[in-house]
Structure 1
Amino acid sequence: MQDNKLNIPLDHIQDGLSLEVVGNNSNPLFYYTDAQYNGEAPYQIMEGRFYHYRFSKKEYCFEPSEVVEPSPFSSSEGRLTPNIYTGTLELNIFKSFDIEVGSVGIEVQSVKASYREDYRFMLEAITDKCTDLLMQANSPVSHNFEADFSNENEGTIYQRFAFIKSIINSDEFKESIYRIITFPSTTWMEELETTDSRKIRRFKNSELRQLINRNPRAKLPLNHPLSKRGLNSMPTRIETTRKIDTVDTPENRFIKHALQTYLKLCSTIISNIKTGTRLFKEVEALSENIENQLSHSFFQEISRPHTLKLNSPVLQRKEGYREVLRSWLMFDLAAKLVWKGGEDVYKANKRDVATLYEYWLFFTLLDMISEIFDIKGKETSQLIKKTNDGLGLQLRQGRHTALKGVYKSGTRNLNIKFSFNRTFSGKKKFPKSGSWTKSMRPDYTLSIWPEEINEDQAENEELIVHLHFDAKYKIEKLIEIIDAENIGSNEDLLSSEKKEERKGKYKNADLFKMHTYKDAIRRTGGAYVLYPGEEKLTEKGFHELIPGLGAFPVRPNKTDNGTSDLKVFILDVLDHFLNRASQRENMAFRTFDIHKKKPNNLKESIPEAYGKNRNFIPDETFVLIGGYKSLAHLEWIEETGLYNFRMDSERGSIILDQQTVSAKYLLIHTFNEIVSGKLFKINSRGPKVYSGTRLHQLGYPFKDSGKGKNYLVVEIAPVEDEEFKNLDWKFSKLKNYKRGRESFKPFTSTLTELMNTINS
């Protein structure tokens, strides 16, 4: 029942005392009659909202806390602000400020309408997965531990009980019990009865003996066949046996034993916890449920078991029985399981569905990733480890859990690592893994790199890619985190967001976090939101799938959890990794190549790199330095716009390498010069081969350019860039310059190096 006002009676503290809680249409209140069945307090408010409260008597008050803010005018009234807390809020009540007189429970609902069903389903799913893991890891320590609830704190007990409850309270278990009662396994058994001896058609040995000895007897006629054989009388009634159909079978005894074991566990827990707590109410409700099942007439006919025949074909195969057998095995293991991370979900009467969603997503993603990649059993079995107090699930917020695998294809094998709560430190220096600034911790990270190298080398050489995913349970629609069409202008949206931020509400914080991961964590290929909705979003950074941002729906649902879109995306990412000519591969190499050495320093004026000149990068712009032999040679160069290099193996010949072929400028000098200002732009796309005869025809001033010799020739023109005019360069400072007889030998330099030799 929804209302704007709740009046909570507190007669257990003092007659006539009550607590009034007031909300409005935006902050509704609820009262549920079925709350105890769900382990909840009947009076309920919603997370993230605020409510006003007031005691009916002014001498009573709440203790101030993060949730309770008393009024400055009266301590008996104030405001409740549960923020992100969900679960039963146990508020201690004081009289005259310092005398604690009791408490009141108020349930804080999740903003998600389906949180009850989601909570139950996710807990069942995690229990089911943990049982599978336990069965893998439990063989060497299967009977070393028994849960001792008398020596545990309430948080640990609740954690264990939550697993057990999810097994027993599941629809599958209830349906199994109904199936067994409706279509039970039966057997024939013999029952003794006393009957008229004349009705017996065929006598057994035991009945034949009674013909001689049993009383009372009746005399037989003389013509009776038995009289002729010397038997003068026979008993009037004989004790015989008959076969009847019974449900008192070993298999049904096991079912009854299992239910009684569950009931005994509930009694043990109740005797070791505080009355009135969430756990007490939940255990009490479960006990009532089990007692109702055991009170069925079916179980009244069944005796106690002498032995448990767990290898019975009926228990292992018959519908209903096999599910209960599995639940019993799960129950036995779950009672031994210690999950420290469960405290994030259950501690202090919390019911943190958002955190449970994060844990559930881990197992859901693990199942999906295991289908795609080769993740060995020993990797997943490490999630369950032997601890001092039982078998521990090694999954907890803030603690790094990583599983490794391999993806094999015909052309490329890849290593993968699936991490939960991995911290990317802000303290590690480039090129090591980590964050550029403060430490970051995404919920899940999928890292991919070539199989032939280890992870550290992949980080150092820019060969690894990280994909980050964050769980956002409270998002239902993408419109909550991205701009939608037909909802107003961007200016209106931004203005609205600014107002919300000033109120402390950060509607786009989830999307901003994805941008933060992408930009802050080194070698991030993408960052994505996982939420229980319907729509997907993938935004590409450039022309390819990654780098990118987006959101994928993953719902707590048994039939369709929505991971199909996410699985297709991961497969597309793998297909992208098989493309060795992708832009991402090129960018990764460029990043590695640029950052592997310290940067050069160039502060001189050079042409700007834009438009057709966009690829004008000083470190990748090469200059040829060559000689001219005489004034006549220089005049020929300037008149023809050609410059030639020798191609033979003698001294002075040019070395053809990538830098020479791709050179964009030519600086020429004559003998004994170490400074030159004669800079030309190379217009040809590369050197061309000219014969000596062809050069002679063009007026080349040297007679040795005759037949049998070939030259490399580039087409040149005076530089027109203002930044290069009226400059002289002391090229003898260049690292490739050779002194002495080889000073005339042509060589190359980068524009950066050349500009740092300007002769002032």
Structure 2
Amino acid sequence: MIEQKVTINLKDEFSKDIGTLTVSSIDPIREKESSHKISDSFVLKNIDLVDEVDNITPIQYYNKESSQFSHLMLLEETEYQILFESDDANASYDVLYSLIKINESHFKRFRFNLGDNNKFKLAGTLNFRSYVGKSFLDVKKDNIKSIQIPIEVRSKKIDYFNQYSAMIADLSQHALSLIFEVNSPLYQEFELANEEKLTYYEDFMFLEYLFRQDNLPTIFEYLSKNMHSQLINHDETVPISLANNLNSSSINNIVSKPNQLFKTDSSIKMSDKLNGYLPYDIHQIKHEESIDTPENQFFKYFLEMLQNFVEKMLVNSKKGYIQDKLNFYKEEISYYLSAKFFNHISTLDYVPFNSQVLQKKEGYRDIFQYFLMLEFSFRLSWDDLNNKFKGFEKKLSELYEYWCYFEILKVLNDLSITKINFEDVFEVNKTNWAINVIKGKRSSKKFKLNIRGQDVKIELFYNLTFSDKSDYKSYSLAFKPDYTLLISTEVKQHFIHFDAKYRSELEIIDFYEKIGEKTNSEIEKEIDKRDSLEEKEYVFKDADIYKMHTYKDSILFSSGSYVLYPGTKSKYFMEEDLIIPSVGAFSLTPGNTDIEEDNLTKFIKKVIETLLFQDGLITYEWVSSNY
């Protein structure tokens, strides 16, 4: 084990010294010492300069020039020692004021006197818990701010560079799906905000997501070959010898303009009707297929908006990775807009929100969603998440919990004969465009399945409380699993529980604290307080399974309890050869959901089949044939 240390000489905007800030941590696997001098005021000890960061090393220096990711990389759920020193002992200091403003629990000052009256010294510990994202190291001296040192707090449990952005995109898409639900309270009831965005950080992450090969590049190629068109009619004047589409309107036009006729000896039948006269020219209706539709105008508008947005970001970017990527995106968009078919598409007059093509047709629906995701991102705010979004930082454990909920909803919706509407998932405040995910007893979502010829009803709850005082009973302590399935057959009801475990547990002593004679609201607070302790270094360990046993054994009618966590392995512990009763853990990781969703789907089907067998509704052979 070797101590890593970064020493920064902080200066104000006029290059005057404010003091020296030292950040240190222990690298448990490092064996060799090293030193790097980034500048006269920025020195690294035992910190590697890397082009690819890991999710193990406490401090790394990201060597690529980039304003998307900060150079100084720290790690969530990791303790750092902080020391600030200044030669001016008579000044007042506000150390790490940006971090304290964001979350007071991040930085804990030491209370003892460091014993130097000629200098100002302040020491403490810094731990970001499960917050990830950008933040800053800074100090105020007599209310004069130092230049901020940007840092990036990366995740231990998911790929911060790829999976984190995939989760942000998924959550945005789930929220914005409200717009596409015909029965949604928000359907067609919104207008675009004109607020200036405070940061391009999430937007750049979205651009990274947008330009993945499976997204915009593929959609553009598809639409360029499958453009929506419509048949339009227009009048044209042609010589009579070229006329091929006459109708009553053409005849009326001839009769109304006798001065355009000439005498002919032609045997054309029409001349007989006009006493031997024919017109020099004739008006006819021409039917033409046109791609100049509102939907294609919107397609063109989106690309032009994207182009302007990238150019705006380029103005504010520094040389290096982000500028290279933005230039690449700019070239891609220019290539798209150079397509010849855009020459036949006019400027957009209005966004056709009511268009069924834009809402439902393949390709166009994707462009519409990309537009909304880029335009709104998290400006379409989730009230529950607003409290977790502090500055640039995101409390990843909360995001992961919401993300897992939508994954379970998706799996059940795919299995179900009846589908849920998004209005049943969210509470909507139309006044300020805020949405909440409904929790507790009111969160009930009902699904109907047919398994092995048997009708099965499933009710999904989010944060349902079980206690001796609630409608849903626990015979010991009060519990609130993240997600609960109530599976009802013709014979019996069974509970299956899931907990999202991005975070992990502390010592189990706190887990079994006595609640005593308390009201329901006090019990809710006790559960939240106890569960909030579960934020320490994550390892998939016995304590996670212990908790699943407490759910299964203490909550009446429970048959199984399972951890959902971002990992690579899934395992469950069961009696003999039947999957129920059991406890276990399932890998569910953003950006890697196709296989994992399929595994979760198969598991839920196996659980239902086993319950049907135990209730005497199907034979054992039907269950065992699935293993």
TM-score range relative to shorter protein: 0.5 to 0.7
Change (3 A) 1:34 1:127: farther
Match of 1:68 in 2: 107
Change (3 A) 1:348 1:445: same
What is the CA–CA distance in structure 2 between the aligned matches of 1:159 and 1:465, rounded to whole Å? 45
1:556 maps onto 2:556 in alignment = no
| Contact 1:446 1:467 (8 Å CA) reproduced | yes
- Among candidates 273, 276, 301, match of residue 257 of structure 1: 301
What is the CA–CA distance in structure 2 between the aligned matches of 1:570 and 1:122, rounded to whole Å? 23
Match of 1:110 in 2: 155
For residues 114-153 of structure 1, the aligned pairs below 5 Å read: 114-137=159-182, 141-148=186-193, 150=195
| Contact 2:219 2:363 (8 Å CA) reproduced | yes
What is the CA–CA distance in structure 1 between the aligned matches of 2:608 and 2:336, rounded to whole Å? 59
RMSD: 5.2
| Contact 2:166 2:209 (8 Å CA) reproduced | no
| Contact 2:223 2:363 (8 Å CA) reproduced | no
- Among candidates 20, 25, 28, match of residue 58 of structure 2: 28
Match of 2:394 in 1: 351
For residues 214-613 of structure 1, the aligned pairs below 5 Å read: 254-262=298-306, 298=337, 305=347, 307=349, 323-328=366-371, 337-343=380-386, 346-378=389-421, 380-384=422-426, 386-389=428-431, 392-395=434-437, 401-408=443-450, 412-428=454-470, 432-450=471-489, 463-473=492-502, 507-541=541-575, 544-558=578-592, 560-579=594-613
Local SS of the residue matching 2:81? strand
Larger radius of gyration: 1
Local SS of the residue matching 2:130? coil
| Contact 2:416 2:447 (8 Å CA) reproduced | yes
Residue by residue over 1:537-556, the C-alpha shift from the partner in whole angstroms, topping out at 9 and shown as x without a partner, is 22225774322211122232
- Among candidates 63, 82, 91, match of residue 128 of structure 2: 82
Change (3 A) 1:55 1:327: same
What is the CA–CA distance in structure 2 between the aligned matches of 1:326 and 1:357, rounded to whole Å? 22
1:258 is displaced (CA, Å) by 1.2
What is the CA–CA distance in structure 1 between the aligned matches of 2:405 and 2:96, rounded to whole Å? 39
What is the CA–CA distance in structure 2 between the aligned matches of 1:85 and 1:58, rounded to whole Å? 33
What are structure 1's unaligned runs of at least 5 residues? 188-203, 205-246, 277-281, 453-462, 476-500, 584-760
1:305 is displaced (CA, Å) by 0.9
What is the CA–CA distance in structure 2 between the aligned matches of 1:292 and 1:6, rounded to whole Å? 39
What is the CA–CA distance in structure 2 between the aligned matches of 1:314 and 1:413, rounded to whole Å? 36
What is the CA–CA distance in structure 2 between the aligned matches of 1:9 and 1:283, rounded to whole Å? 27
Change (3 A) 1:12 1:290: farther
Match of 2:78 in 1: 49
What is the CA–CA distance in structure 2 between the aligned matches of 1:409 and 1:177, rounded to whole Å? 36
| Contact 1:554 1:561 (8 Å CA) reproduced | no
Match of 2:522 in 1: none
Match of 2:139 in 1: 93
What is the CA–CA distance in structure 1 between the aligned matches of 2:375 and 2:71, rounded to whole Å? 32
1:44 is displaced (CA, Å) by 1.7
For residues 182-201 of structure 1, the aligned pairs below 5 Å read: none
| Contact 1:402 1:418 (8 Å CA) reproduced | yes
1:445 is displaced (CA, Å) by 0.8
1:521 is displaced (CA, Å) by 1.7
1:403 is displaced (CA, Å) by 0.7
Change (3 A) 1:508 1:168: same
Local SS of the residue matching 1:126? helix
1:48 is displaced (CA, Å) by 1.9
What are structure 2's unaligned runs of at least 5 residues? 29-56, 115-119, 230-241, 243-290, 505-533, 618-627
1:104 is displaced (CA, Å) by 3.9
Change (3 A) 1:149 1:383: farther
Local SS of the residue matching 1:342? helix
Local SS of the residue matching 1:417? strand
What is the CA–CA distance in structure 1 between the aligned matches of 2:339 and 2:9, rounded to whole Å? 42
Amino acid at match of 1:85: Y
TM-score relative to the length of structure 2? 0.60
| Contact 1:7 1:20 (8 Å CA) reproduced | yes
TM-score relative to the length of structure 1? 0.51
Higher strand share: 2
Change (3 A) 1:556 1:541: same
1:5 maps onto 2:35 in alignment = no
Match of 1:235 in 2: none
Structure with larger RCO (C-alpha < 8 A, sep 6+): 2
1:120 is displaced (CA, Å) by 1.3
Q: How many equivalent pairs are there?
A: 470
Change (3 A) 1:140 1:336: farther
Change (3 A) 1:84 1:398: farther
1:404 is displaced (CA, Å) by 0.6
What is the CA–CA distance in structure 1 between the aligned matches of 2:336 and 2:196, rounded to whole Å? 37
What is the CA–CA distance in structure 1 between the aligned matches of 2:146 and 2:66, rounded to whole Å? 23
1:447 is displaced (CA, Å) by 0.8
What is the CA–CA distance in structure 1 between the aligned matches of 2:339 and 2:599, rounded to whole Å? 51
What is the CA–CA distance in structure 1 between the aligned matches of 2:538 and 2:419, rounded to whole Å? 44
| Contact 2:496 2:559 (8 Å CA) reproduced | yes
Local SS of the residue matching 2:485? strand
Change (3 A) 1:451 1:182: closer
Match of 1:201 in 2: none
